[in-house]
Amino acid sequence: MADHEALHIKGGILVGPQDVRDQLWVVGGRITYRRPAAEPAGTVTGWVLPGLVDAHCHVGLEAHGAVEPDVAERQALTDRAAGALLLRDAGSPSDTRWTDERADLPKIIRAGRHIARTRRYIRNYAHEIEPGDLAAYVRREARRGDGWVKLVGDWIDRETGDLAPCWPKDALAEAMDAAHQEGARVTAHCFAEESLADLVEAGIDCVEHATGLTDDTIPLFAAHGVAIVPTLVNIATFPQLAEGGRTRYPRWTDHMLRLHRRRYDTVRDAHDAGIAVYAGTDAGGGLPHGLIAAEVAELVTAGLPVAAALSAATWGARDWLGRPGLEEGAPADFVVYDEDPRTDVAILGAPRRIVLRGAVLG
């Protein structure tokens, strides 16, 4: 569609969970609710949501580390086909800024490269450093990213044979201050229980996975306004991962299985306590891209109301990340479905049309 041509969208326009309008137009790649003077070049009918958000994925990353641009492109296109048009890349060793010049690819909000303790994370993924260097590396990644920095908060400690925190509290506090001075928020990979209180008290903004939340730390997260991205489609892989390490690390195996068994209760209790929960898949490491609909379904299985689960990947997630949804003048990034996704989140798995920057792509 040329820039001067208008596109007419009719049906159920889900501007918000309770704000439903019956039509909008796309003019010059942007949304308007005012009928344009020009006759629309075409009409699309259906139920419309803002482009879905995958709030934890890794474009440019696979199990072995960084990938070539053609692989990163396929990852982004897979997310686009699933309706995920805004991606928070929660750590990648690849430089994917070239995607910003591609109008046909989802928008990526980058957290730079993971920052991990030496020999305490997946090989080839992270800057592996010691606590004395943490603040300097956080400042560096804050300047390279798009408003986020990603820490590895805990990982297996080979000496104890179990999950353990990676950073002392004083180093965390200095690092959080450095990020916030640079205008960036900080998130951290955390599976276990022990690191969470220190991270919150140091000033963390978000925790990924958060399977270690307990009755003690859930109120702490709620009081400090710390969000979580549970990545339940990734947590589903814990049993397979755990059993693979049973011979060498039996304590770690049993711990991972306990975290997996209580995963739904953990997420439901967090939501019920008022903790903001957002949808992310952890695609790009061991998981394929394009799983955002499955993640939203997992949030519902965990006990979130359908409206809350949808918001975790649409209205709420976009507001959290500072990106518009279906407001007047916003970029025309949205997904069209045959049915109302508020009746059944499984509908998210079958987008009929993808509209990205005003172009109808499918």
Domains of the chain in start order, with CATH, are 6-50+325-360 (2.30.40.10), 52-320 (3.20.20.140)
What's the token pair of residue 289?
């891209």
First to last CA, the chain: 13
Residue 1 clears pLDDT 50, i.e. is over it: no
What's the token pair of residue 295?
């993640």
Alpha carbon distance 346, 361 (integer Å) = 21
- The answer to whether the predicted template modeling score (pTM) of the entire model surpasses 0.95 is yes
More confident position, 39 or 278: 278
By three-state DSSP, how is residue 329 classified? coil
User: How confident is residue 272, by pLDDT bands cut at 50, 70 and 90?
Assistant: very high
Indicate the burial class of 338 (C-beta count within 10 angstroms; 0-12, 13-18, 19 or more).
Answer: middle
Q: What is the mean pLDDT of the chain?
A: 96
170 CB neighbour count, 10 Å cutoff: 12
Give mean pLDDT, residues 189-215. 98
User: How confident is residue 106, by pLDDT bands cut at 50, 70 and 90?
Assistant: very high
Alpha carbon distance 263, 79 (integer Å) = 25
Alpha carbon distance 46, 336 (integer Å) = 6
Residue 72 clears pLDDT 60, i.e. is over it: yes
Give the pLDDT of residue 2. 45
Residue 164 clears pLDDT 80, i.e. is over it: yes
How many angstroms separate the most distant Cα atoms in the chain?
Answer: 71
